[in-house]
Structure 1
């Protein structure tokens, strides 16, 4: 496991595996959480950081950078003083909502009953 990105280096050896391809595209272990949060709409970095407070600042920065580089998240810079940066999902990122909804269904059925209902994917 690569500590910086949270990706599994063994996936590089498993050429052709669709799960490994998904993990390479999503990258960091916090990507699912960030994508779920951005499904609610565009957010500035500090707002996103508050909403996913479990994620440390550097990890959030790395995750966003990876998602931007892989075309799932759009980083828009506004020429204000200080500079304002807003993150939103691209069409590719929005399309991942289907997978998140299926994961949510799976957790509802098989997840820890003590945690049930604490998180759910927003449908739009």
Structure 2
């Protein structure tokens, strides 16, 4: 039996999931995994600005949520690879749209910010 969830209720567990998938690092990781499994170090190189610690923490959280799987290969040194799970794949289109919306609309956002700042600046 499915429980009814309400994202507008502050005690609803969906808030935790929304918080996770709205995180910029999670969006970038999920977007990068859309084309297939990726090794940890490859993710770290691809996602500029993410620290090893934050990458590791974010991967653990989205693995716990069932969005990614982790595979460890007994090599020297150990190789760890991440891939989207079937549940994670349900976010593919949404994540890609969100991540690349920012790229496509950045000029308009910057213009809106400048207009807002100019309109709300204290008089000199």
TM-score normalised over the length of structure 1: 0.67
Q: Does 1:60 align with 2:55?
A: yes
Q: Secondary structure at the match of 1:71?
A: coil
Query: Any stretches of 5+ residues in structure 2 without a counterpart?
Result: 1-6, 110-124
Q: Does 1:69 align with 2:74?
A: no
Equivalent-residue separation in structure 2 for 1:65 and 1:17 (angstroms): 18
Q: How much is the aligned-residue C-alpha RMSD, in angstroms?
A: 2.9
Give the equivalent residue in structure 2 for 1:37.
32
- 5+ residue gaps in structure 1? 1-10, 116-124
Question: Could you say which residue in structure 2 is the equivalent of 1:22?
Answer: 17
* Structure number with larger C-alpha Rg: 2
* TM-score, length of structure 2 as denominator length: 0.67
The structure that is helix-richer by fraction is: 2
Q: CA deviation at 1:114?
A: 7.1
2:31 and 2:99 in contact (8 A); partners too: no
**1:113 aligned onto 2:107:** yes
Q: How many residues align?
A: 102
Query: In structure 2, how many angstroms separate the alpha carbons of the residues matched to 1:84 and 1:93?
Result: 22
Change (3 A) 1:28 1:113: closer
